[in-house]
Amino acid sequence: MIIDDYQLKIQEDNIIKIFLSFSGEGRQQYAVKFLNFFNKYGIKCWYDHHQLLLGDLIKKEIVNKGIETVDYSIIIINKTFLSRRWPCEEAKKLYERFINNSRHIIFPILLDIEKDELKNSQINFLLNIKYQFLKSDQSIDKLGFQILNRILQDKLKDYKYSKIDILIFDLNNRNNKRFYYLYSNINILEKFNETDYNNKTIILICLTRFFKKISFIKIINNITDIIIDKKDINFDIYKIIESIFLINASNNITCEDYI
């Protein structure tokens, strides 16, 4: 699909930034993997090797250009992280921003450590946040999609159609033949089992591609590739596409730009 200048502008307006916090072997082991995962889906990550320039005051730049500017933070906590002073200070600063800014979300990831190890550390306050475990031999994809799902659902709160039911109700009340195709096909979703994420995702991708102006096209294209490769579509992937569909419906239908 060719993306025109307007669509590129939409994507620029939807830039989301994630701060990656890690220590020691966590860099190559998982920070870089998260960086590459989110870059693939069009999400920007604040990564020190990319943002810090020669001669910068490291801590000052990390706080001013990193921690204070991002929407989300991934804290990859391993034994090395817990034993180092600066990573723990970084986690404290991220938590302070989390407490003082309702739109800043932290994703704590316990890499090869147990809950008690974090509980007995100076950053045990992170246990107040829903965390996830990760082992060195595991892929980050499942976690990556969980995070992406949260990000898109947060984004959806700013749009008119925050739920499928709201969109269906609005289209029905419009009684406009112009929207009949969309209305009738959305209702097909109810014919599938609740856990039939594969078919429901396919339908919503197809419907989204009928919009004239599309946001988050990079995510749509990459999830389409997952379907083509016949890989499993889980709940988080389905919810990602559902959110993107509703965001695009809000952008297009309210502007009477649906074709």
| Gyration radius of the chain over CA positions | 20
Q: What is the mean pLDDT of the chain?
A: 84
What distances in angstroms separate CA 225 from CA 53, 177, 229, one per listed residue? Answer: 36, 32, 6
Distance between CA atoms of residues 23 and 81, nearest Å: 5
Size of the chain, expressed as the number of residues it contains: 259
Average pLDDT over residues 181-189: 88
Helix, strand, coil share (%) of the chain residues, nearest 5? 60, 10, 30
For the ranges 27-31, 70-74, 122-126, 135-139, the lowest mean pLDDT is seen at 27-31
Confidence label for 60 from pLDDT (cuts 50, 70 and 90): very low
- Are 32 and 114 a contacting pair, CB within 8 Å? no
pLDDT of residue 190: 86
- Give the mean model confidence (pLDDT) for residues 47-65: 50
The answer on pLDDT for 127 being more than 70 is yes
**pTM exceeding the 0.95 threshold for the entire prediction:** no
Q: Are residues 75 and 21 in contact, defined by beta-carbon separation less than 8 angstroms?
A: yes
Q: Please, which pLDDT band fits residue 186 given cuts at 50, 70 and 90?
A: very high
